């Protein structure tokens, strides 16, 4: 049986610019052949069970030759696989997508093309430069700046000058001097505004504004990393006036979110809205305890309990999922009052139509125990369905205050994720590419440490939710900031605080 190939444009890097259709297709992929220009946050969406093929093709370094890529797509599709060819930007704009389809079409392999947002327009937009403007340019022209080694650019510079529009050169940094000299020789004004835009839409975004005559000198002075595009035209004068991305409080920060899969969406979205590039790489996952006998026994006598206490959103999810599997629903709870450790857990209860009766002002196990010690009556029965290794302070604080019957019921266990998937992230931390890591529990810290064994943890800037999480991070030698409250909003505020302190820290190093 023949498989199928999808040529999917991943956009310029920002996850928010990856198309809905692209995401849906990537979710169902069995094989993914990707380029290095694909953003890390998009690569993290590749299904864990999918075969991943690194096709390289970044800044003149090719992991695989184009013919080898073509043959790989064909071979995998012939084996009946769902193959995604994931390409930075748009697959048909200097992405050699047409070449990859030629062989597939010849061999009768079904295929689809999913267009992507091109860096030619998205990157200038993120840098505050409209590629067209009524008063500056009525046309825009996208040109490849790629050239073979030791050969001149094969471009009609005189024709480009006559166009009088905005010129966008993709893959043009290595040929920047040739581009500028060619335009100048063809008669373009040496004072024509021009720019080099580095790693647009990502944490490494950098904008170098100059004029055509001096742009190569300025780029050499400031330095530039690929990928980058070259922009020539009067619209470049608007780059400082219209900049918006650079003004967001988390601009320039790449933040690693270690929260379990499926739980990271809210915090990631909030961080991205503040300008961060977010990489979701869960350090842990939760799985239900394999032996369900105790859980089934407790389900049979749920109505005996006066209090049902949840210490995490995962606990709520696991408990009610298993309750449903046992053929029961919320009617089995009887008159038990529901208690939650914090807003996230309360929200999971609310999603099931259940109102939380009690929640502490400080969202941790100790304060939840203090609260229960005050509201419970003598001989009340309390059921606590939670993680296999739960915080002992919860039960200790209850027992200090009231004589009750407590059933501490382990219903899920914490599993550390595969360390091999963290090799690139470990390198990025060592090279200063990842600004900070967000930890939502001590377990995520432990999982991170297991996955990055050998890392110098003093390089990790940890943003922690709660003192226990911070204690685990400090024990490893991480530099920490702790959120004022155990909420997502407070955690995001702490990320901003960390970013601002890092800016101060970097400035001090420069000044000293």
Q: Is 57 a catalytic residue?
A: yes
Q: Which two tokens stand for residue 351?
A: 């999603």
DSSP, residue by residue, 188-227: --TT-EEEEEESTTSTT-EEEEEETTTHHHHHHHH---SS
In the DSSP assignment, the letter for residue 273 is H
**Residue with token string 């040739």:** 178
Question: How many helices and strands in the chain, by DSSP H and E?
Answer: 18, 20
Q: Is 35 a catalytic residue?
A: yes
Q: Which two tokens stand for residue 345?
A: 């857990």
Q: Is 171 left (phi over 0), alpha (psi -120 to 50) or beta?
A: left
**What distance in Å separates the CA atoms of residue 403 and residue 78, rounded to the nearest whole number?**
68
Least Cα distance to 411 among 440, 392, 439, 383 occurs for 383
What secondary structure, in 3-state letters, does 70-127 show?
A: HHHHHHHHHCCCEEEEEECECCCCCCCHHHHHHHHHHCCCCEEEECCCCHHHHHHHHC
Burial class (CB in 10 A: 0-12, 13-18, 19+), 490: middle
Q: Which whole-number Å values give the CA distances from 449 to 255, 434, 439, 476, 493, in the listed order?
A: 17, 16, 12, 8, 24
Report the sign of the C-alpha dihedral through residues 344, 350, 352, 355, in that order: positive
Least Cα distance to 198 among 59, 95, 96 occurs for 59
**Residue with token string 């890529």:** 69
Q: Which two tokens stand for residue 510?
A: 């420069």
Report yes or no: 169 and 232 within 8 Å, Cβ to Cβ. Answer: yes
Report yes or no: 27 and 45 within 8 Å, Cβ to Cβ. Answer: yes
Spot the catalytic one: 14, 57, 337, 493.
57
Spot the catalytic one: 14, 35, 90, 493.
35
Report yes or no: 256 and 279 within 8 Å, Cβ to Cβ. Answer: yes
Report yes or no: 211 and 227 within 8 Å, Cβ to Cβ. Answer: no
Q: Which two tokens stand for residue 359?
A: 């929640």
Q: Which whole-number Å values give the CA distances from 17 to 83, 164, 274, 305, in the listed order?
A: 22, 29, 15, 49
3-state secondary structure of 129: coil
Q: Is the peptide bond before 227 cis (omega within 30 degrees of 0)?
A: yes
Least Cα distance to 281 among 70, 468, 90, 452 occurs for 452
Active site residues: 35, 57
């Amino acid at each position: 049986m023949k498989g199928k190939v999808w040529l999917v444009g991943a956009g310029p890097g920002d996850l928010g610019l990856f198309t809905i259709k692209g995401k849906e297709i990537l979710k169902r992929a069995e094989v993914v052949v990707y380029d290095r220009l694909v953003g890390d946050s998009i690569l993290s969406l590749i299904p864990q069970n999918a075969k991943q093929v690194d096709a390289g093709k970044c800044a003149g370094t090719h992991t695989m030759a184009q013919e080898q890529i073509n043959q790989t797509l064909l071979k995998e599709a012939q084996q009946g696989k769902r193959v995604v060819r994931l390409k930075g930007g748009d697959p048909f704009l200097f992405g050699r997508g047409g070449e990859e389809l030629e062989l597939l079409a010849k061999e009768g392999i079904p295929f689809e093309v999913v267009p992507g947002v091109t860096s030619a327009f998205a990157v200038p937009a993120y840098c505050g430069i409209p590629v067209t403007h009524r008063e500056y340019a009525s046309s825009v022209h996208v040109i490849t700046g790629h050239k073979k080694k030791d050969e001149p650019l094969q471009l009609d510079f005189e024709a480009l000058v006559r166009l009088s529009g905005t010129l966008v050169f993709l893959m043009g940094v290595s040929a920047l001097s040739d581009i500028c000299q060619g335009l100048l020789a063809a008669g373009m004004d040496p004072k024509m505004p021009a720019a080099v835009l580095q790693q647009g839409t990502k944490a490494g975004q950098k904008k170098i504004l100059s004029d055509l005559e001096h742009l190569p000198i300025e780029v050499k002075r400031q330095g530039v990393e690929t990928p980058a595009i070259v922009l020539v035209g009067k619209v470049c004068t608007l780059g400082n006036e219209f900049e918006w991305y650079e003004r967001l409080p988390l601009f320039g920060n790449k933040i690693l979110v270690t929260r379990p899969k499926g739980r990271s969406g809210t915090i990631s979205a909030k961080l991205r809205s503040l300008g961060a590039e977010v990489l979701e790489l869960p350090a842990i996952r939760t799985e239900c305890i394999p032996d369900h006998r105790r859980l089934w026994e407790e389900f049979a006598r749920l109505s005996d309990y006066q209090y049902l206490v949840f210490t995490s959103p995962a606990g709520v999810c696991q408990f009610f999922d298993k309750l449903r599997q046992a053929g029961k629903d919320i009617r089995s709870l009887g008159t038990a009052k529901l208690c939650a450790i914090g807003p996230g857990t309360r929200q999971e209860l609310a999603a099931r139509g259940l109102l939380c009766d009690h929640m502490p002002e400080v969202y941790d196990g100790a304060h939840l125990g203090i609260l229960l010690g005050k509201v419970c009556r003598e001989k009340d029965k309390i059921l606590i369905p939670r993680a296999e290794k739960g915080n002992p302070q919860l039960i200790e604080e209850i027992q200090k205050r009231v004589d009750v019957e407590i059933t501490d019921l382990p219903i899920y266990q914490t599993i550390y994720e595969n360390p091999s998937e963290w090799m690139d992230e470990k390198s990025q931390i060592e090279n200063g590419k990842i600004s900070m890591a967000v930890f939502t529990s001590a377990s995520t810290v432990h999982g991170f440490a297991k996955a990055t064994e050998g890392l110098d943890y003093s390089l990790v800037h940890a943003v922690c939710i709660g003192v226990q999480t911070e204690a685990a991070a400090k024990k490893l030698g991480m530099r920490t900031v702790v959120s004022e409250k155990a909420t997502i909003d407070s955690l995001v505020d702490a990320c901003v605080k960390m970013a601002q302190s890092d800016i101060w820290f970097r400035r001090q190093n420069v000044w000293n």
